[in-house]
Amino acid sequence: MTNELYKSLYELLPQITGFIYPNEIEIHWGILVVVYPYLTGIVAGAFILASLVKVFNVKEVQPLYRLSLLTALSYLLVAPLPLLSHLGHPERSFEIFLTPQTSSAMAMFGFVYAWYLMAVLLLEIWFVYRTDLIHWAEGETGAMKWIHKGLALFSTDKSEGALAFDSKALKTITIVGIPSAFLLHGYVGFIFGSVKANPWWSSVLIPIVFLFSAIVSGVALVIFFYMVITPLTGGKINMKCVDKAVDFLFYAVIVDFSLEFVDFIHRIYQSEEEIKILSEMVMSKLFMSLVVIQVMLGMLLPLGIISITKIFKKRFSLNEDLRKMFYFISVLLIQFGIFSTRWNVVIGGQMFSKSFRGLTTYKMEFGGLEGLLYAFVLLLLPLVILAVLLKILPPWKEMREEGKGLNGETTGGLPAPGA
Amino acid sequence: MSLSAFAGGGRVNSRRKFLRDVLAFLVSGSAIGGVFQILPAKVLAKEAPRKGKWYGFGVSVDKCIGCTRCVEACKTETDVPREPFFTRTWVERYIIKRNGDAIVNTVETKPEGVPDSAADRSILRSFFVPKLCNQCADPPCVQVCPVGATFQTDDGVVLVNSKTCIGCRYCIQACPYGARYLHPRTHTADKCTFCYHRVSQNLLPACVEVCPTQARIFGDLNSVASPLARFRRMNKIHVLKPGLNTEPKVYYASLDGEVR
Ligand code: SF4
Ligand code: SF4
C-alpha cells in the first residue's frame, strides 16, 4: 500500500509548478472530504425547506414537507461515512466522543451530528408519522404491520389530546430545528473557515456561504426528487408547489451568489500576499471547476433560465411542460454547481502551497477508499436509503394533497404504504 | 516584511494579558458553560513559564551551506521515510536574481541537486534556509486536533501521540509552515519533535549535532547561559509568518524577506 502511495506521488512530481513545501505534494483531504460537506449541505437545505412549511406556513410547498424530511434523514445517515473512511485510524474514531479536545472545531462533530439526528430529525419525523403509523398498522398484516407498530413505538393513542400534543411538539422541534440546521452546516463551514494557515479557507464568510449553498442544494434536490418520484408513483406534479419552491430556490441562489461575489471582491480588494498564487490557481487549476461549472453553469445559467420563466410568465403559465423542463434543467445544473463549490473549496484550498510560491495537483484515484468509485457509492447510498424510507414511510398523501382539485386528481383516504 | 518577534516585548505582554483577562471574563460571564472556560487559556498565547525548561531552536541562515546532513541525520534518527514527500526537516535554497525574481527549491539530499551559481551574473544573492517544525508557543495544530493527540509538553515541545491520533489530518491543514505529514506506515500525523527522546537525555537533536557549520542551535530559552540565549542576544532575530500569531520558537538570524 505504501509503495502505491509513493508511486502515485512520484507521478505528481512533474505537475508541480513553482515552489511548494516538501510535505505538501500529497493532498490530504480528497474527494471524500468533498462529498462530506455536500451531503450535510443537502441535509440542512432539505430541512430548512421542510421548516418553511411548518413554521412559516407556506401552504403551497406542503407536498414537499415529508419528502424533504425523509431526504434530510437519508443524507444525514450517510454523512459521517466519508469522514470515517478517510481517517488514518477509523477504529479510533470513537475517541472524538470520549476524549474530545474542546478547543477543536472538529471535535464537536459527533455532538453536533448526534444532536441533529436524535433531537431534531428523528423526533420530528416520528411525530409527523405517528398517527399514520398507527393507522397503517391497523390495516396491515405481516411484517409491515410490525414494522409500523414498532416504529410508532407501540403507541396507539389517536385521541384529540394526543394529536394536539403531536402538533405542538412538531412546532417546537421545528423551531429548535432551524437553528440546528444552521448550526450543522455553519459548523462544517467553520471547520474550514477557522484554519488561519490557509487563506483560501480562512474567511468569516465561509460558514455563511456554506449555509446558503446548503439551502440551495437541499431545496434543488428535493424539487428534483419530487419531480421524478411523483410521476413514477402515478401522481401528477403539483405545479403550484414547484413554482413556489423554485421561487424560494431562486432567491436562495441569488443570496448565495452575492455572498460568494462579496467574498471574491473582498479578497481582490484586500489583495494580501497570497492573492498572486490564488489567482494563478483559479486561472489554471480551478478554471474549469470554478469559473465554468460552479459560476457559469451552476449559478448564472440556472438563474437565467428561471428568470426567463419569470419574465415570460404568461407564455410559460400556458405551457406547463416547458416550464417543467426548464425547472428540471435548472435544479440539475444547480446540483452540479454546488458539488463543484464543495470541490473548489476543499481541493482548491490544498492546491496552492502555504509558501505562496507554487501549486500542486490533485490526482483522483479510481478505486480504493479514497477513490472516485467509492465516492460515487457514497453519493448514491442516500438514494437507496431514501427508497427504503419511502417504502416504509410513504409521503404520497402529502405529496398529492394539494394536487386535489387543482389537477382534478383524488387520492381519497390513506393509501397503503408502498402504493 | 519580516517583523521582529520581540518588538516592544513588555508592553505587548501586558496588553496581551489584559486582553486575555477581558476575554476570560466575557466568556465565563456569558454562561456558555464550563467547557468554554478552558478555551481562553488554550487559544491565547502561552508564554514561557518562569521556572523549568522552555525549549527553542536557532537557525543561522548565513552559516548554512546546504549540505543536507541535517536532513539525512533526521531521517535516520527518527524513522522518517526516505521518499522526498515526507520530511521533518528540510533545506530550502533561494536564488535572488538582479531583477528581483526569486527562485526557490528544496535541496535534494543527493548532491547533484545544487548547481554552481557563482558564475551566473544575473544572480544577486543566494542562500540556504533550513526549515523544521516551529514548535509554536501557540500551536494551531494543538488547537485543532479533535482528540488531543497533538499536545504541548511543559517544556514547550509539540508532540504527537501516535497511539491516539485518528489520522484526520486536520493538524496538517492547520500548520502554516508545512511541517507536518501523515506517516505512510503508521497512518498518524508526524512532525519534528526537537528529538525529544535525545533532548530529555541531555543530548542535542540529531540535526544540530551533525551540522558541520553550527547553523543549527538548540537550547533552553529560560537559561541565560544556553547557546541559544547567546545566539538570540548576539543576532537580529526573525521568525516565520509572525502575522499569524503562532509565536514560533525557531528563531532565524539573517533571515531574508523573501523567506516565508
Ligand atoms: S491527524 Fe492526528 S494529530 Fe493531527 S489533528 Fe488528526 S488526530 Fe490530531
Ligand atoms: S547540516 Fe547544517 S549546514 Fe548542512 S544543510 Fe543542515 S543546517 Fe545547513
Residue-wise pLDDT for B61-101, tens only, equals 999 999 999 999 999 999 999 988 999 999 999 999 999 88
- A7 reaches B (C-beta below 8 A): no
Closest atom of ligand 1 to CA, residue B148:
8
- A105 reaches B (C-beta below 8 A): yes
> For residue B124, is pLDDT > 70?
yes
* Beta strand pairing call for B89-97 and B102-106: antiparallel
> For residue A302, is pLDDT > 80?
yes
Distance B195 CA to ligand 2 centre (A): 16
pLDDT digits (tens, 9 = 90+) for B200-209: 999 999 999 9
Q: What is the pLDDT of residue B20?
A: 55
- Given pLDDT bands bounded at 50, 70 and 90, which one contains residue B50? low
A109 with B146: Cβ contact below 8 A: yes
Closest atom of ligand 2 to CA, residue B68:
5
* Chain A contact set for B43 (CB, 8 A): 103
Is-contact B170 B145, C-beta < 8 A? yes
DSSP state of A126: H
Q: What is d(CA B195, CA B216) in angstroms, rounded to the nearest whole number?
A: 13
Closest residue in B to A354 (Cα–Cα): B176
User: Which of B71, B160, B166 should be substituted to probe chain A, the one whose Cβ sees the most A Cβ atoms within 10 Å?
Assistant: B166
Residue nearest ligand 2's atom 3 by CA? B64
Q: What is the pLDDT of residue B12?
A: 42
pLDDT digits (tens, 9 = 90+) for B73-84: 999 999 999 988
Segment holding B187, helix H or strand E: none
What Å distances lie between residue A227 and A34, A43, A143, A320, A336, CA to CA? Answer: 26, 19, 30, 13, 17
What Å distances lie between residue A50 and A61, A124, A295, B39, CA to CA? Answer: 9, 10, 27, 36
- Taking residue B201's Cβ as centre, other Cβ atoms within 10 Å add up to 8
CA A344 to chain CA centroid, nearest Å:
16
How far is B101 from chain A, CA to nearest CA, in Å? Answer: 12
Q: What is d(CA A32, CA B124) in angstroms, rounded to the nearest whole number?
A: 46
Question: Mean pLDDT across the stretch A341-348?
Answer: 95
- Taking residue A12's Cβ as centre, other Cβ atoms within 10 Å add up to 16
The answer, yes or no, to whether any atom of ligand 1 lies below 6 A from the CB of B151, is: no
What Å distances lie between residue A64 and A71, A73, A244, B121, CA to CA? Answer: 10, 14, 11, 72
Q: What is the pLDDT of residue A412?
A: 39
- A354 reaches B (C-beta below 8 A): yes
The answer, yes or no, to whether any atom of ligand 1 lies below 6 A from the CB of B250, is: no
- Given pLDDT bands bounded at 50, 70 and 90, which one contains residue A307? very high
> For residue A159, is pLDDT > 90?
no
Lowest mean pLDDT among A95-109, A121-135, B113-127: B113-127
Q: What is d(CA A95, CA A18) in angstroms, rounded to the nearest whole number?
A: 39
In degrees and rounded to multiples of 5, residue B213 shows phi and psi of -110, 5
- Given pLDDT bands bounded at 50, 70 and 90, which one contains residue A352? very high
> For residue B107, is pLDDT > 60?
yes
A28 with B147: Cβ contact below 8 A: no
Distance B54 CA to ligand 2 centre (A): 24
The answer, yes or no, to whether any atom of ligand 2 lies below 6 A from the CB of B66, is: yes
Question: Mean pLDDT across the stretch A3-27?
Answer: 89
Nearest listed ligand to the Cα of residue A107: 1
Q: What is d(CA B114, CA B110) in angstroms, rounded to the nearest whole number?
A: 9
pLDDT, averaged across chain A: 89
A99 with B147: Cβ contact below 8 A: yes
pTM of this structure: 0.88
User: Which of B126, B145, B165, B173 should be substituted to probe chain A, the one whose Cβ sees the most A Cβ atoms within 10 Å?
Assistant: B173
pLDDT digits (tens, 9 = 90+) for A161-192: 899 999 899 988 988 888 888 888 888 999 99
- Given pLDDT bands bounded at 50, 70 and 90, which one contains residue A402? very low
- Given pLDDT bands bounded at 50, 70 and 90, which one contains residue A34? very high
Nearest listed ligand to the Cα of residue B186: 1
> For residue A40, is pLDDT > 80?
yes
Distance A166 CA to ligand 1 centre (A): 44
Distance A346 CA to ligand 1 centre (A): 18
Three-state DSSP at B160 gives strand
Distance A131 CA to ligand 1 centre (A): 47
pLDDT digits (tens, 9 = 90+) for B11-49: 444 455 555 555 544 444 333 333 444 444 444 445 566
Is-contact B253 B227, C-beta < 8 A? no
Distance A72 CA to ligand 2 centre (A): 56
Q: What is the pLDDT of residue A142?
A: 85
Residue entry with cell 386528481: A409
Q: What is d(CA A174, CA A124) in angstroms, rounded to the nearest whole number?
A: 7
- A357 reaches B (C-beta below 8 A): yes
Q: What is d(CA A335, CA A220) in angstroms, rounded to the nearest whole number?
A: 7
Instruction: Provide the angle, in degrees to the nearest 10, between the axes of the packed helices A239-270 and A205-232.
Output: 160
How far is A107 from chain B, CA to nearest CA, in Å? Answer: 4
Interface list for A 10-39 with B (CB within 8 A): 19-26, 28-29
> For residue A116, is pLDDT > 50?
yes
> For residue B9, is pLDDT > 60?
no
In degrees and rounded to multiples of 5, residue B93 shows phi and psi of -120, 125
Three-state DSSP at A176 gives helix
A88 with B147: Cβ contact below 8 A: no
- B144 reaches A (C-beta below 8 A): yes
Q: What is the pLDDT of residue B251?
A: 97
- DSSP H helix total and E strand total for chain B: 8, 11
In degrees and rounded to multiples of 5, residue B120 shows phi and psi of -75, 115
> For residue A317, is pLDDT > 80?
no
Highest mean pLDDT among A122-126, A365-369, B4-8: A122-126
* Chain A contact set for B140 (CB, 8 A): 195-197
- Taking residue A40's Cβ as centre, other Cβ atoms within 10 Å add up to 31
pLDDT digits (tens, 9 = 90+) for A319-340: 888 899 999 999 999 999 999 9
User: Which of B144, B151, B258, B259 should be substituted to probe chain A, the one whose Cβ sees the most A Cβ atoms within 10 Å?
Assistant: B144
% of chain A surpassing 90 pLDDT = 59
> For residue A145, is pLDDT > 80?
yes
The answer, yes or no, to whether any atom of ligand 2 lies below 6 A from the CB of B129, is: no
What Å distances lie between residue A13 and A6, A22, A239, B84, CA to CA? Answer: 11, 11, 54, 10
SS (H, E, C) B86-120: CCCEEEEEEEEECCCCEEEEECCCCHHHCCCCCCC
Distance B172 CA to ligand 1 centre (A): 8
Which are the contacts of B140, defined by CB distance < 8 A and separation ≥ 6?
A195, A196, A197, B174, B175, B176, B244, B246
- Given pLDDT bands bounded at 50, 70 and 90, which one contains residue A32? very high
Residue nearest ligand 2's atom 8 by CA? B64
Distance A61 CA to ligand 1 centre (A): 44
pLDDT digits (tens, 9 = 90+) for B153-173: 999 999 999 999 999 999 999
Q: What is the pLDDT of residue B3?
A: 36
Interface list for A 60-89 with B (CB within 8 A): 83, 86-89
If we measure between CA atoms, which residue out of B170, B190, B151, B24 comes closest to residue A107? B170
What Å distances lie between residue B49 and A194, B46, B119, B221, CA to CA? Answer: 28, 8, 50, 10
- A90 reaches B (C-beta below 8 A): yes
Q: What is the pLDDT of residue B139?
A: 96
- Choose the closest CB to B176 out of A25, A349, A354: A354
pLDDT digits (tens, 9 = 90+) for A212-271: 999 999 999 999 999 999 998 888 899 999 999 999 999 999 999 999 999 999 999 988
- B182 reaches A (C-beta below 8 A): yes
State the Cα torsion A230-A233-A234-A237 to the nearest 10°.
0
B173 with A102: Cβ contact below 8 A: no
Is-contact A51 A29, C-beta < 8 A? no
CA A223 to chain CA centroid, nearest Å:
13
**Can you point out the beta strands (E) in A19-158?**
none
The answer, yes or no, to whether any atom of ligand 2 lies below 6 A from the CB of B13, is: no
CA B208 to chain CA centroid, nearest Å:
14
* Chain A contact set for B170 (CB, 8 A): 104, 106, 191
- A415 reaches B (C-beta below 8 A): no
The answer, yes or no, to whether any atom of ligand 2 lies below 6 A from the CB of B67, is: yes
